[in-house]
Chains A and B, each alone.
Chain A
Amino acid sequence: MRKPLTAEQAAALVPDGATVMIGGFLGVGSPKRVIDALVARGAKGLTVIGNDTGRPDLGIGRLIVAGCVARAIVSHIGTNPVTQQKMIAGEMRVDLVPQGTLAERIRAGGAGLGGFLTPTGVGTSVAEGKQVLTVDGRDYLLEKPLRADIALLHCYEADYYANLTYRLTAQNFNPLMALAADIVIAEPDEIVPIGVIPPDHVRTPGILVTHLVERPH
């Protein structure tokens, strides 16, 4: 059984300078309350791994605007002009990774794989500095796994073992990140008693989740 943390307690577990995976796609499926608490506590120097940098007032974008992020490893920044401004001004570093490659690097990080071969990015700037391997006549890039100190997830339901379910397009990177970080913090929309979630519906087993954040008030 876990006693859920407040969003502020969860944010206090994220040290300045940490590498943090944050679930979500344009803020959908992002742990909004923990993000707000990180902004409120003035987190600094984070390396954030996530799909995108949201919008200035949405998702990971709020951390960018608040100056919490030193480096972002993401697939898309087009919806947040502040990211571009800070990148051009040299205030933060942005590593752009193709979305499927990003998802698979996180999956590999959580699955104990040393990397994988993908055709994505062959012949583009993404291939710079990477090994190209030819398998059965087709070229692939060797892409390496990604892991983080902390994963900040959003989920739909949790029980008090921290078994998690996700909903519709809010799952995106969350179930992958649950396996790819040393500390996993999940922010649920709802917490239900143990036994309410059928075993077949559990997408992330509670044994992988370090801390649960309390339900929204």
Chain B
Amino acid sequence: MDAKEIIARRVAQELHDRTLVNLGIGLPTLVAHHVPKGMLVAFQSENGIIGFGARPPEGMEDPNLTDAGGGFISAIPGAYAFDSATSFALIRGGHLDMTVLGGLQVDAKGRLANWMVPGKMVAGMGGAMDLVAGARRVVVAMQHAAKGAAKIVPELTLPPTSSRPVSLVVTDLAVIEPTPDGLVLRERAPGVTVGDILAVTTAPLILPDSIPEMTL
């Protein structure tokens, strides 16, 4: 199982029946492939739809039906389309049960940075700041380290996306929960030791007596 697959499968375990969920661009979109059978999860795309499905076959795309990354999608029966003010009323208004976002850094306070690298990459925040401020649960899905450099750090060195701490961080190595006392190491990926995780984490981690392996 590759890193992305581990992350997507583990994040999917955070899904609950009859909830509204927003998946960020990139890695988080993979979570949609792992919805447990029989569970109804309504996925929102912030460009204006709840209830989207897979990309249609070539030649059957609708130019007026795309996801937030600009890719063609389909609408499943019961879908709902809306404007951008409604979309973010859903996000900020407490109606969104969970968002899954990619991350560049998470710090010891649980703060996320994911929208720019000063002097290198300025993507813009898009909807990320609203999602972190407004979703009931914010799950960060990211690689644990970038080419060996820690992404879970004592203090953000990149501009924060919000002052609000995220709810959970799922990486290819670990599940980490930000708490008022600090970051708690909850789970290890299969075959990964606590030492492996500490070696690529510069933020202090609280280690409970039991840190089980993820069940994927």
Contact = CB atoms under 8 A, between A and B. Distances in A.
A186 interface: no
B47 A169 contact: yes
A29 interface: yes
A27 B48 contact: no
B66 A123 contact: no
Interface string B75-114: 1000001111101100110000000000000000000000
B127 A99 contact: yes
Interface of A is mostly: mixed
Nearest to A78: B123
A77 B85 CA distance: 20
B165 to A, nearest CB: 11
Question: Counting chain B CB atoms within 10 Å of each CB, which of A76, A79, A94 scores highest?
Answer: A76
Given A99-B46, A173-B83, A75 B159 contact: no
Contact of A176 (B62, B84, B126): B84
A174 B88 CA distance: 15
A45 to B, nearest CB: 22
Contact of A169 (B65, B125, B128, B130): B65
Interface stretch (A100-108, A192-200, A206-214): A100-108
B210 interface: no
B124 A176 contact: no
B160 interface: yes
B64 A77 contact: no
B92 A120 contact: yes
Given A84-B122, A94-B122, 7 more contacts: A25-B66, A77-B123, A99-B127, A103-B84, A124-B159, A168-B65, A169-B81
22 contacts: A25-B66, A28-B66, A28-B70, A76-B123, A77-B124, A78-B124, A78-B126, A96-B125, A99-B84, A99-B88, A99-B127, A100-B91, A100-B134, A119-B133, A119-B134, A122-B162, A123-B162, A168-B65, A169-B65, A171-B82, A172-B47, A173-B83
Interface of B: 45-49, 62-70, 75, 81-85, 87-88, 91-92, 121-130, 133-134, 159-164
